[in-house]
Structure 1
Amino acid sequence: MLLVYTHNISPRLKYVFRHICTRVLGVKVDFTNTIESFIAHNSLKMSYTKQQLGSEFFIKSHDILFEQGLNDFDIHVSDWDNTKCFFPNGEKSAIPYDIFAASFYLLSRYEEYLPHVKDEYGRFMATESLAYKHNFLRQPVVDIWAYKFKAALQKQFPDYEFPEQHYSIKPIIDVPVAYHFKLKGLMRTTGGTVKDFFKFRLRDLYMRYAVLLGFKHDPYDTFKYIINRQKLSKFKFLFFFLIGDYSTYDKGINPNKRNFVSLIKHVADYCEVGLKASYFAIDDAEILKKEKKRMEEIINMPLKSSRQSFSRLNLPDSYRNLIELEIQEDYTMGYVNQLGFRAGSCTPFLFYDLDYEVQTPLKICPYHFLDYALLKEHSLLDKKKALGALIDEVKAVNGEFTAVFHNYTFSENERWNGYKELFNMILNSAQDED
């Protein structure tokens, strides 16, 4: 166990030390503000305060972990070996930056509480982030800093054996609409037919009725392929089905359709199933509650995981609503148009509510890859190169690689050419570790 001496055992300090030490490095941590207890401890120990006590392992603390509320810090990002960091802390410190303060800034999404420009869906944009502006978005810097901290501790305590951590993957299948043509109802089918006809989309018109008459397979129905891939993997896939009401933004299948319910039940026999909350559920706790109840009736078990439609987050309200409904995990923390690490970490972490200054029970499982983000890469080779580099970053810190694909990504649509290969790259990356 690591014992930390500090002048103020604040909620922020306990939160971030437990993420870095316990979640990332697998080391238990405890805290004291009594010098006698600190001296008596005969294992890993360090001081985290303004002044070094003696010759102990010491990291000079930044004020952010002892404050309450928000402060618009003037942050200067600097190079540090093969990465970046901020909040420098002077020569006496065992490492040149206060990685705990910097990690808290990223994990708490401090910058998303400050004034910023949102996109047309009300989302925090990657281009507004410190990581994007200073070119470290594609590095899990919190985990990298944790391993630098570990290396410094090992130098001071060479006899201590750190637990071994392992790389893992979490494939996410997002299902905003299970079928392209099937189960759409008379009005939507008629409307689609008219649109296809007047826009001269004759191939779509042919496909629509070939599917409806049973001569062709629905292009979005890729569930058999995905389940077959699941059977060959030791890591559970996690499906998010949209079962909210039809709206301007959400155009899924009617959740009362028996065949749609059967599909969800079938998938749940092999994979984990969570709720893809609808666009309007993010702002309306009653809608979210209704959708949660609807999904629990389908899967016949308590709902554990959620993901927000369009990857929308409105901090802290979005997460407070999930906590209120006792949803345990959320998979919305990431960017739609950029690869990388929105919260700086590839290790799931607990949501810290900056308004209430409390660590909550909601586990945030950040994703680092969403299929749309690679469409800007022109060739399959470029896509593989970008994905491979991201996987290598996560492997280097024994993190969890979380990737979001959609069910239609595995269709024969030309737009998604090569995406099955990318999916297999991720699955194979975990097999390489065995």
Structure 2
Amino acid sequence: MILVYTHKVTPRVRYIFKHIFTRTLQIEVDFTSKVEDFVAFAGPKMSYTKVPLGNEFFIKSTNLLFEQGVSDVQIDVSVWEDVPCFFFQGQKSTIPFDVFSASFFLITRYEEYLPHIKDQYGRFPANQSLAFQNGFLEKPVIDIWAYKLLDKIKERFPDYEYKERTYQYISTIDVDHAYAYKYKSSIRAIGGFLKDIYKLNFLHAIDRIAVRFNLRKDPYNTFEEIISLKKKYQVRTIFFFLIGDYSTYDTNVSASKNKFRLLIKDMVDYARVGLHPSFYTMNDVEKLKTEKERLEGITNMPIFRSRQHYLRFALPDTFQKLIDLEIHEDYSMGYASHVGFRASTCTPFYFYDLDFEIQTPLRIFPFALMDTTLNDYMKLTPKQSLGKINDLNNEVKKVKGTFITLFHNESLSGYMRWKGWGRVYESMLKIITNS
């Protein structure tokens, strides 16, 4: 255990110290604001305050962890030991910047509470983030800082024994379109066929007819392959099913279709299943509740994992709604337009609500990349995409974090816009499990 002295033990202090020490570095931490208790403690200890008490391990604090609410924060990014950092505090501090305030600012998504221009889908854009603007979006800097902090602590307390965490990988699959053509209503089938003819997509029109009449397998029905790869490479896999009512942005098969319901039941037998709340649930708790109950009715088990469709969430409102509905894990923390680490960490963390100044029970699992980001936004070839995947995986492995990827069942099909992508998912699993 490490004892931390600080002039005031706030909820923010407890939250970020426990994340860095307990969840990232596997070190128990305790706090005191009494100088005599700190002096009397014989084990590893450090102070986090404005001025050192003596010659102890000392990190000079800014005001951020002792404030409440959100205010405009002045940030100047510099470099320390080849790593971007901010909240520079000078050389009297053992580490020359306030690693705890900087980590808190990034992991709470503090900047997303500040005024910003949303994108066309009402999301916080990656290009407005501090990480993107300063070139560290593709590095889990909070984890990197944590291990640099650990190196300094080891120098000061060489006899203290430390545990090491292990690298983990989680494959997540969003099911926006379980099937390309099968099990859709006659109106949607006829409309799609006429649209194909109008756009002169005759091959698609033929495929549509062949699938509807069971002459060909639906191209998006790649679930057996995903389960087979899960077993082959022994990877933890989670499916997120979109079962909301039909809308412009929610076009999956109807949850009333028996074949779709049977598919979901089958996946429960082989993998974990979560909810993929539909486009408009970001601000509609009743719609979110209906969809959660709908999925629970299909699986006959509590649903406590989710990922927002289109990655649409607003802080803190959407997460507060998830907590109210007893969702314990959310996998939405990432950008659609860019790969990397939106919260600057590859360690699952508890959502800290800046409105109420509390650590909540909602655990956030940040993903590092999405197939549509690589293909649709970045316009990378499959080979280039695998290179980018390898780079991000290596960043996570360096800090023994949790690498989370987001693929869609349709990208394994190699069909239409996914032409040439049929083997990318398995190639990625080979990279991850063999590296």
Same fold (TM over 0.5): yes
Q: Which residue of 2 aligns with 1:386?
A: 388
Is 1:8–2:3 an aligned residue pair? Answer: no
Q: Which residue of 2 aligns with 1:26?
A: 26
Letter in 2 for 1:384: L
65-74 vs 36-45, greater mean Cα deviation: 36-45
Q: CA RMSD in A?
A: 1.3
Q: Which residue of 2 aligns with 1:307?
A: 307
Residue 416 of structure 1, CA deviation: 2.7
Inter-partner Cα distance in structure 2 for 1:432 and 1:194: 47
Q: Which residue of 1 aligns with 2:331?
A: 331
Residue 182 of structure 1, CA deviation: 0.3
Letter in 2 for 1:85: C
SS in 2 for 1:277: coil
- 8 A contact 1:108–1:351 mirrored in 2: yes
Inter-partner Cα distance in structure 2 for 1:196 and 1:249: 19
Q: How far does the alpha carbon of each residue in 1:77-101 deviate from its partner, in whole angstroms, 9 at most, with x for none?
A: 0112232000011111111111100
CA separation of 1:279 and 1:340: change in aligned 2, threshold 3 A: same
1:136-175 map, 5 Å? 136-175=136-175
37-46 vs 320-329, greater mean Cα deviation: 37-46
SS in 1 for 2:95: coil
Q: How far does the alpha carbon of each residue in 1:226-282 deviate from its partner, in whole angstroms, 9 at most, with x for none?
A: 000111233320000001100111011110111000000001101100000001111
CA separation of 1:416 and 1:197: change in aligned 2, threshold 3 A: closer
* Normalised TM-score (structure 2): 0.97
Is 1:256–2:243 an aligned residue pair? Answer: no
Inter-partner Cα distance in structure 2 for 1:5 and 1:418: 57
Number of corresponding residues: 433
Residue 193 of structure 1, CA deviation: 1.3
Q: Which residue of 1 aligns with 2:414?
A: 412
1:29-178 map, 5 Å? 29-178=29-178
* Normalised TM-score (structure 1): 0.97
Large movers: runs of 4+ above 6 Å: none
- Structure 2 unaligned blocks of 5 or more: none
Identity within the alignment, %: 48
- 8 A contact 2:7–2:33 mirrored in 1: yes
Q: Which residue of 2 aligns with 1:195?
A: 195
Inter-partner Cα distance in structure 2 for 1:203 and 1:304: 41
Q: How far does the alpha carbon of each residue in 1:154-194 deviate from its partner, in whole angstroms, 9 at most, with x for none?
A: 00011112111111111010001100000111110111111
- Structure 1 unaligned blocks of 5 or more: none
Inter-partner Cα distance in structure 2 for 1:172 and 1:89: 40
1:163-312 map, 5 Å? 163-312=163-312
Residue 121 of structure 1, CA deviation: 0.3
SS in 1 for 2:3: strand
SS in 1 for 2:91: coil
Inter-partner Cα distance in structure 2 for 1:128 and 1:26: 33
CA separation of 1:341 and 1:158: change in aligned 2, threshold 3 A: same
114-123 vs 227-236, greater mean Cα deviation: 227-236
Letter in 2 for 1:151: D
291-300 vs 373-382, greater mean Cα deviation: 373-382
1:368-387 map, 5 Å? 368-375=368-375, 376-387=378-389
Residue 383 of structure 1, CA deviation: 1.7
Letter in 2 for 1:203: L
Inter-partner Cα distance in structure 2 for 1:305 and 1:103: 25
- 8 A contact 1:282–1:313 mirrored in 2: yes
- 8 A contact 1:377–1:383 mirrored in 2: no
Inter-partner Cα distance in structure 2 for 1:26 and 1:299: 35
Q: Which residue of 1 aligns with 2:405?
A: 403
Residue 54 of structure 1, CA deviation: 0.7
CA separation of 1:281 and 1:394: change in aligned 2, threshold 3 A: same
Inter-partner Cα distance in structure 1 for 2:318 and 2:113: 13
- 8 A contact 2:341–2:367 mirrored in 1: yes
Inter-partner Cα distance in structure 1 for 2:306 and 2:382: 31
Letter in 2 for 1:84: P
Inter-partner Cα distance in structure 2 for 1:72 and 1:422: 43
Inter-partner Cα distance in structure 2 for 1:430 and 1:204: 35
- 8 A contact 2:412–2:423 mirrored in 1: no
- 8 A contact 1:276–1:306 mirrored in 2: yes
Inter-partner Cα distance in structure 1 for 2:424 and 2:209: 31
Residue 420 of structure 1, CA deviation: 4.9
Residue 69 of structure 1, CA deviation: 1.0
- 8 A contact 1:167–1:430 mirrored in 2: no
Residue 431 of structure 1, CA deviation: 2.8
Inter-partner Cα distance in structure 1 for 2:179 and 2:283: 27
Q: How far does the alpha carbon of each residue in 1:5-35 deviate from its partner, in whole angstroms, 9 at most, with x for none?
A: 0000000010000111111111111111112
Inter-partner Cα distance in structure 2 for 1:429 and 1:71: 43
SS in 1 for 2:233: coil
Residue 418 of structure 1, CA deviation: 5.0
Letter in 2 for 1:242: L
SS in 2 for 1:139: coil
- 8 A contact 2:338–2:373 mirrored in 1: yes
SS in 1 for 2:111: helix
Letter in 1 for 2:80: W
- 8 A contact 1:169–1:426 mirrored in 2: no
- 8 A contact 1:181–1:189 mirrored in 2: yes
- 8 A contact 1:178–1:221 mirrored in 2: yes
Residue 427 of structure 1, CA deviation: 2.5
CA separation of 1:422 and 1:35: change in aligned 2, threshold 3 A: farther
Residue 421 of structure 1, CA deviation: 4.4
Residue 377 of structure 1, CA deviation: 4.2
CA separation of 1:246 and 1:115: change in aligned 2, threshold 3 A: same
